Amino acid sequence: METKKKGGFSSSIGFVLSAAGSAVGVGNIWRFPYLAAQDGGGLFLLVYLGLVLTFGFTLLATDIALGRRTGKNALNVFGSLHPKWGFLGKMTFLVPAIIMTYYSVIGGWITKYMVVYLTGQGMAAAQDGYFTSFITSKASPIVFMLLFLAVTAFVVYSGVEEGIERFSKLVMPGLIFLIIGIAVFSLTLKNTDAAGTVRTGLKGLAVYLIPDLTGLTFSRFLKILLDAMSQLFFSLSVSMGIMITYGSYVKKDVNLNRSISQIELFDTGVALLAGMMIIPAVYVFSGTEGMAQGPSLMFVSLPKVFDAMGGVGIVVGIAFFVMVAVAALTSCVSVMETLVANCMELFHAPRKKTSLVIGMLSAVSAVVICLGYNVLYFEFPLPNGQTGQLLDVMDYASNSFLLPLICLLTCIFAGWVIQPDWIVEEMETGGYTFRRKKIYAVIIRYIAPVLMTVIFLQSAGCLR
Ligand code: PHE
**Segment 310-369, tens digit of pLDDT:** 899 999 999 999 999 999 999 999 999 999 999 999 999 999 999 999 999 999 999 999
Distance 326 CA to ligand 1 centre (A): 12
Contacts 24+ apart (CB under 8 A), 120-128: 120/314, 122/303, 122/306, 122/307, 122/313, 122/314, 122/317, 122/318, 123/307, 125/299, 125/303, 125/317, 126/303, 126/304, 126/306, 126/307
Q: What is the mean pLDDT of the chain?
A: 94
Rounded to an integer, the average pLDDT of 266-279 is: 96
Cα 304 to ligand 1 centroid, rounded to whole Å:
26
pLDDT reported for residue 212: 87
Q: Tell me which of 1.20.1600.10, 3.30.450.40, 1.10.4160.10, 3.40.50.970 is the CATH number of domain 12-459.
A: 1.10.4160.10
Reported as a single tens digit per residue, the pLDDT across 166-211 is 999 999 999 999 999 999 999 999 999 888 899 999 999 998 999 9
| Span from the CA of 234 to the centroid of ligand 1 (angstroms) | 6
Residue 105 and residue 441 in contact, taking contact as beta carbons nearer than 8 Å: no
> In this predicted structure, what is the pLDDT of residue 7?
80
Ligand 1: nearest atom to the Cα of 103: 10
- Reported as a single tens digit per residue, the pLDDT across 133-146 is 999 999 999 999 99
Higher per-residue confidence, 296 vs 13: 13
* Whether the CB of 18 sits within 6 Å of ligand 1: no
- CB-based contact 237:57 (threshold 8 Å): no
Residues 199-219 pLDDT 10s: 999 999 998 999 988 889 998
Q: How confident is the model at residue 1 (pLDDT cuts 50, 70, 90)?
A: very low
pLDDT of residue 373: 96
The closest-lying atom of ligand 1 relative to the alpha carbon of residue 99 is 10
Q: How confident is the model at residue 4 (pLDDT cuts 50, 70, 90)?
A: very low
Q: Is the model's pTM score more than 0.85?
A: yes
| Domain boundaries defined on the chain | 12-459
Summarised one tens digit per residue, pLDDT across range 222-265 is 989 999 998 998 999 999 999 999 999 999 999 999 999 999 99
C-alpha of residue 31 to centroid of ligand 1, in Å? 11
CB-ligand 1 contact for 100 (6 Å cutoff): no
What is the predicted pLDDT for the residue at 464? 61
Q: Which of 93, 326, 331 best tests ligand 1's pocket when mutated (most atoms within 8 Å of CB)?
A: 331
- Residue 70 near ligand 1, beta carbon < 6 Å: no
Q: How far is Cα of residue 176 from the mean position of the Cα atoms in its chain?
A: 16
Cα-to-chain-centroid distance, residue 255: 24
The yes-or-no verdict on residue 40 having pLDDT over 90 is: no
Alpha-carbon gap, residue 196 to 210, rounded angstroms: 25
Pocket test for ligand 1, best of 99, 103, 234 (most atoms within 8 A of CB): 234
Ligand 1 in reach of 22 Cβ (< 6 A): yes
Please tell me the distance between residue 174's alpha carbon and the centre of ligand 1 in angstroms: 19
